[in-house]
Amino acid sequence: MEESSTETMSKLGLIEQSFDTRYSLWVREALDELQDNFTITDPSISGHPIVYASVGFLKMTGYVRDEVIGKNGRVFQGPKTDRRSVMEIREAIREERPVQVSLLNYRKNGLPFKMLFHMCPVFAEEDGRVTHFVAVQVPISEEPPRRRRTRSGLDEDESGKWELVFGSCRREVCSGLLVDSPVNWDSKEPEIEERCEATESEKLRAVSAINNILSVLTHYSELTGRLICKKRCCLPAAGFLSSSLVISLGRIQQSFVLTNPCLPDMPIVYASDAFLSLTGYARHEVLGRNCRFLSGVDTDSSILYQIKESIVQERSCTVQILNYRKDNSLFWNILHISPIRNASGKIAYFVGVQVENGDCKSRDEQNLRRPDRRQLGVVGAVKVAVRSSSMSRCIIPIP
C-alpha cells in the first residue's frame, strides 16, 4: 500500500528526529566524508526504514538519497536474492547481534551485484536499547571465469575446435538427414553457477568500515550527552522492548501507545508513529511518561477515574476524553484501553488506541458503547506481536 503524502512527511520528520535527538547537527556531514558503502536504519520507526545512506552506497546502487531515505532495505532485493541470507539478517535483528553474509542485491537499473553485507546494532549507553542498525555493503569481486566441462567431457575451448570438424555433420543431423529419432543437439549446456564468496580482505574491509562509522557516531553522541556503544554496556532498562517487537508493532498503522503496569507510574514503553503525528510530540518526549501528560485543565477528572478503575480491574474500556497536543491545541480523543497478556497469560502491557473525533465543541457519547473496528484491529495485532515476542524471547547476555 502506497503511503499518503501526509504519512510520508510524518515519517521524514521522525527520520530527522532519529538523528537529531541522539547526535549533534554535524553528524551527517561527518558521515558523508567516509568512503564506505553503508546505510543506517531505525527499528523504532514504522517499517524499519533507512535514515541515512552514504555517498558510496548511493553511487554503488545508482539511487539518489531521496529515493532511499525512508525505505526498507528489502527494496534492493530481487528474484535471485537468497532467501536464506535474508532470514539470517532477520534473525540477527531479532537477536540484536551482528551478522555477516553474502547477499545478491539489485541496482536501480535492475542489474544484480554480489556483496558482503555486514550489519551490527548500535546500543544506547544509558539503557541498553538498540537505537539503530548500521549495515556496510562491500562489493564482492567476481572470480575469473573457469573452464566448464561439456557433456562430452571436453573443455569449452576444446569443444569449439571439434565444432569446426563436426559442424557440417551437426547441421545435417539437425536438418533430419541423418536422424532416425529426435535429438536435441542444440540445447545449451547447463552452466555451473560459481558461488562467489567474500575474500578475507573484503571481510576485514567490512569490519574496518563498521568501526569507522561507530567511531563517528560515538563522537557525535558524546556532544549531545546521549552516548551510544557497539556492545550493550548494561542490562536493558525495565520496560525494555526488543527490536523485533518494536518492528512488529511498527507495522500497525494506527495511533496507539503501549504502557507497562509493572513499572512505577505505568509509563509508556512504545508509541506509534501515528500517535506522535496526532499529538505533535517526539518519541523521546513520550517514552517513560504516564499518559496523563495529554490531559489539561479542561479534561474531565471523572473520565480519568474511569480509566484508572478499568486498569485496576484489568478490563477494557472505551471513553471520549479531551486531550491536549504539544502545541496546547485541543482534540477529542475516543480512547480504547485493553490489557495485553503475554504467552504465559500474565498481563504484560495495556494498549491505548486513539481515534480523533473532529468535533472539539461537543462530547457525543453515542458511539462509545463499543470500540471502533480499527481499535479492535489494533488490539488484536498488538496481542499477536507481544505473544509471539514473549514465546521467542531469550535472555540477552552482556558481552
Full residue range of the structural domain in which residue 41 is found: 5-142+197-229
Residues 6+ apart with CB under 8 A from 158: none
Residue 16 sits in a domain whose CATH number is 3.30.450.20
CB 100 within 8 A of CB 108: no
β-pairing, 38-41 with 50-53?
A: antiparallel
CB 189 within 8 A of CB 148: yes
Structural domain count of the chain: 2
**Predicted local confidence at residue 166, as pLDDT:** 41
Taking Cα atoms as reference points, which of 80, 192, 195, 200 lies closest to residue 142? Answer: 195
**Predicted local confidence at residue 231, as pLDDT:** 86
What would the grid cell of residue 246 be? 518494536
**From first to last of its 399 residues, what are the pLDDT tens digits of the chain?**
455 555 666 667 788 888 888 898 899 999 999 999 999 999 989 889 999 999 999 999 999 999 999 999 999 999 999 999 999 999 999 889 999 999 999 999 999 999 999 999 999 988 888 999 999 999 998 765 454 544 445 454 444 443 443 444 344 334 333 333 343 434 443 333 444 688 999 999 999 999 999 999 999 999 988 999 988 876 655 567 888 899 999 999 999 999 999 999 999 999 999 999 999 999 889 999 999 999 999 999 999 999 999 999 999 999 999 999 999 999 999 999 999 998 888 999 999 999 998 754 444 555 555 678 889 999 999 999 998 877 655 444 434
In a domain, 179, yes or no: no
pTM of the model: 0.73
**Predicted local confidence at residue 373, as pLDDT:** 86
- The number of angstroms, rounded, from the C-alpha of 361 to the middle of its chain's C-alpha atoms is 40
In a domain, 287, yes or no: yes
Residues 330 and 223 in one domain: no
Residues 27 and 69 in one domain: yes
Residues 210 and 291 in one domain: no
In a domain, 153, yes or no: no
Residue type present at position 46: S
What span, in angstroms and rounded, lies between the C-alpha atoms of 333 and 331?
A: 6
In a domain, 285, yes or no: yes
**Alpha-carbon distance values, 15 to 41, 47, 84, 278, 280 (Å):** 9, 12, 29, 17, 15
What span, in angstroms and rounded, lies between the C-alpha atoms of 154 and 148?
A: 9
In a domain, 147, yes or no: no
Residues 39 and 77 in one domain: yes
The DSSP annotation for 340-383 comes to: EE-TTS-EEEEEEEEEEES--S----TT-SS--HHHHHHHHHHH
Residues 205 and 91 in one domain: yes
Reported as half-sphere exposure (CB side, CA atoms, 13 A), residue 7 has a value of 14
Residues 83 and 225 in one domain: yes
Residue 323 is classified by DSSP as E
| Burial category of 184 from C-beta neighbours within 10 Å (exposed 0-12, middle 13-18, buried 19 and up) | exposed
Domain boundary among 229, 253, 279: 229
Residue type present at position 57: F
Residues 218 and 311 in one domain: no
**Predicted local confidence at residue 146, as pLDDT:** 52
CB 290 within 8 A of CB 311: no
What span, in angstroms and rounded, lies between the C-alpha atoms of 302 and 319?
A: 11
Residues 208 and 342 in one domain: no
In a domain, 280, yes or no: yes
